[in-house]
Amino acid sequence: MVAMTMPRRRPGRPRRDQSRDTREAVLAAATALFAQRGFDAVGLREVAAAAGVDVATVSHHTGTKAQLYDACFARVFAAERQALEAAAEHARAALDAGPAAALRALHDLVDVFVDFLEDRPETTALWLRRWLEPHRHAELDQRYAAPLYRLVTDLLTAAAASGALVEPTPHVSVRSLVWAVHGHVVALAASDGSPARERREFRAFVHRFLDGLYAAAGS
């Protein structure tokens, strides 16, 4: 009887789960550094040191510094999209239930976005660093910001078409809300007061803002 043996893994070759863990460590370290200093002020050696690996490992997992920068935005985009898509689908489904239900669903959608950025302030810092030079790395906006803007803009457009709310310029409303939330995250990081109070007050403000824009459709 011939014994069956499993093929051996080549010496020195990392397991697939180890490789994913290393890539995640590199991306997390790079995201924090790019968020703190911007693209030009960060080197691959600093990323390697922060991730606890060597430079060759960083290059193996992410390529050049420009590719690493892109991968950091792709990482935060994937997490944000996962958080927002479910809330946006819920809001879209609520349109048929009338203006009041649609407005409540918009409250929930904005709450998800606020929660996401409050829990991941490096996302705000990463984007703000990029926006300091609006014409540089502009392709990142098209890949990793525009799809989420369109997700919510299309939702507001559909809500207006259904009569659930009145919204003549959805792209302006979305952009204004996004910048308001990013500003809140920056203020929260700089605040020496009560973070819990800041969060409560901002959440209440955003809800009042939405009510001011859209509650009239349900009255």
> Residues 146-170: pLDDT tens digits?
999 999 999 999 999 999 999 999 9
Residues 141 and 200 both lie in one domain: yes
- Indicate whether 44 and 92 sit together in one domain: no
The predicted model scores a pTM of 0.86
Other beta carbons within 10 Å of 22: 18
Determine the Cα–Cα distance for residues 58 and 51; give it in Å rounded to an integer: 9
pLDDT band at 43 (very low <50, low <70, confident <90, very high): very high
The CA angle 17-20-25, to the nearest 5 degrees, is 125
Q: What is the pLDDT of residues 92-113, one digit of tens each?
A: 999 989 999 999 999 999 999 9
Domain carrying residue 25: 17-63
* pLDDT one-digit tens code per residue, 170-209: 999 999 999 999 999 999 999 887 899 999 999 999 999 9
Class of residue 216 by CB neighbours under 10 A (exposed 0-12, middle 13-18, buried 19+): exposed
Residues 99, 191, single domain; the answer is yes
The confidence score (pLDDT) of residue 9 equals: 47
Asked whether 73 and 79 are in contact (CB, 8 A), the reply is no
Q: Please, are residues 191 and 198 in contact by the beta-carbon 8 Å criterion?
A: yes
26, 78: one domain: no
* CATH number where 29 lies: 1.10.10.60
Contacts of 36 (CB under 8 A, 6+ apart): 125
